[in-house]
Amino acid sequence: MTLPKPYLLHVPDDKGYFGAYGGSFIPPNLQTEMDKIYAEYKRISKSADYVAELRSIRKNYQGRPTPISYAKRLSNHIGGGRIYLKREDLNHMGAHKLNHCMAEVLLAKHMGKKKVIAETGAGQHGVALATAAAYFGLECDIYMGAVDMEKEKPNVVRMEILGAKVIPATEGLQTLKEAVDKAFMAYLEDPENILYCIGSVVGPHPFPYMVREFQKIVGIEAREQFLDLLGELPDHVVACCGGGSNAMGIFSGFIDDPTVKLHAVEPLGKGTNELGDHAASISHGTDGVMHGFKSIMLHNKDGEPAPVHSIASGLDYPSVGPEHAYLATEGRTEKGAGATDQETAEAFFTLSRFEGIIPALESAHAVAYAIKLAKQYPDASILVNLSGRGDKDLDYVVSKYPELLQAPVEGR
């Protein structure tokens, strides 16, 4: 493993490559627009106005810095390593996604755009973008598969309350892929006035790079807070990994510290290696290109994105950001970090009952894996990025896992 140092200044390169991964595989007319966004981002992100405005928003609107909480009762209960939580669930709107959405829409404003658009699968990215658009007073169109709209009604309503227009994709299977296609088509009709906002560290260059830059605030804060709290760095840093934005956010703070082990926790779903039963792209995927970038991904026999499954809708993506593919192949992130649906549901209740914190099902994957690490390394300190709160998941969890709700409460 020979990563350049300081890592964040050297990776990716100017074409958006993280080693062999990343880049941009899109039609020429879209490439022209991505080149413009990259050039503008490089210029605006260095301007004092932009930096000052973003800093003020982080503090006065989002509620940053978010604290680190020591999960004392949980750690004592496990009787092993000590678990600490970076509380991204305390961000305005309850998740880390606002970190990049506020910065993306601020960028749109500085670029003189009138509208932001995006696709959304389960609706979480759409809600965060609709929030940011309301704050800045920009129009917001969210493209969503008609089937997904039916499944995720509360998020559709949230977006509409926030003043966004939710546009159904009624083509093909009427899910995420059709929504992506439709949103890109709309974007190309009026790129002068619109900024396309991607919801994770995925997509063509410059998005994996920009979204990491927008999320790295989590790692910067966490490193300083942890040192302040304990006088040393954590032994392990753990985050769930869908596209990988919250994981890149917290990893960014520790990537140059070789003693800190980084774990990107993948959704193991039903716990089999069967394609369609999980969404563990790093563990089970192969190199390929989809959605405009090169990474590790899950393909079916025809090379198309494979069907995936996870109880956390924010994690069911058949690939992973190119930077995660790079860090995994370089050995900077640890192998085999994952949690099944069942382990995740159990961790959801364990954290709720021992700490009074109800995590998002996505974040509960990271908690489940931290519990495994704590048992394995009794002397270790383990920092978890608690990417979001679980209010959105309550109905699903109690209907799917009634036995966990009815289980006796331990430890009091």
Ligand X SMILES: *Cc1c(COP(=O)(O)O)cnc(C)c1O
The Cα 303–Cα 306 span in angstroms is 8
The Cα 44–Cα 48 span in angstroms is 9
Cβ closer to ligand X: 168 or 242? 242
| Residue 388 in the binding site for ligand X (CB under 6 A) | yes
Whether the CB-CB separation of 252 and 215 falls below 8 Å is answered with: yes
**Which residues sit opposite 234 in a β-bridge?**
none
Count of residues interacting with ligand X (CB under 6 A): 18
Cβ closer to ligand X: 264 or 373? 264
> Can 387 be counted among the known catalytic residues?
yes
Binder of ligand X out of 12, 203, 242, 269 (CB under 6 A): 242
The Cα 123–Cα 326 span in angstroms is 28
Binder of ligand X out of 74, 78, 95, 98 (CB under 6 A): 95
Q: Which of these segments, 11-19, 140-148, 243-251, 292-300, binds ligand X (CB under 6 A)? A: 243-251
Of 171, 210, 155, nearest in space to 323 by CA: 210
| Residue 97 in the binding site for ligand X (CB under 6 A) | yes
- Give the residue nearest to ligand X (CB): 388
Whether the CB-CB separation of 91 and 187 falls below 8 Å is answered with: no
**Catalytic residue chosen out of the listed positions 88, 119, 221, 323:** 119
The Cα 219–Cα 270 span in angstroms is 31
| Residue 200 in the binding site for ligand X (CB under 6 A) | yes
Q: How far is the CB of 392 from ligand X (least distance, A)?
A: 8
**Catalytic residue chosen out of the listed positions 24, 75, 86, 97:** 97
DSSP H or E segment with residue 208: helix 207-230
Q: Which two tokens stand for residue 245?
A: 């934005």
Binder of ligand X out of 169, 241, 371, 397 (CB under 6 A): 241
Binder of ligand X out of 206, 316, 387, 397 (CB under 6 A): 387
| Residue 314 in the binding site for ligand X (CB under 6 A) | yes
> Can 97 be counted among the known catalytic residues?
yes
Of 394, 312, 398, nearest in space to 121 by CA: 312
Cβ closer to ligand X: 80 or 268? 268
The Cα 119–Cα 121 span in angstroms is 7
| Residue window 329-368: x/- pattern of binding to ligand X, with contact defined by CB under 6 A | -------------------------------x-xx-----
> Can 109 be counted among the known catalytic residues?
no
Cβ closer to ligand X: 97 or 177? 97
Whether the CB-CB separation of 12 and 205 falls below 8 Å is answered with: yes
DSSP one-letter string for 348-392 = HHHHHHHHS--B-HHHHHHHHHHHHHHHH-TT-EEEEEE-BBSGG
Q: Which of these segments, 21-29, 72-80, 143-151, 240-248, binds ligand X (CB under 6 A)? A: 240-248
Q: Please give the positions annotated as active site.
A: 97, 119, 387
Which residues here bind ligand X, judged by CB under 6 A? 95, 97, 124, 200, 240-246, 314-315, 360, 362-363, 387-388
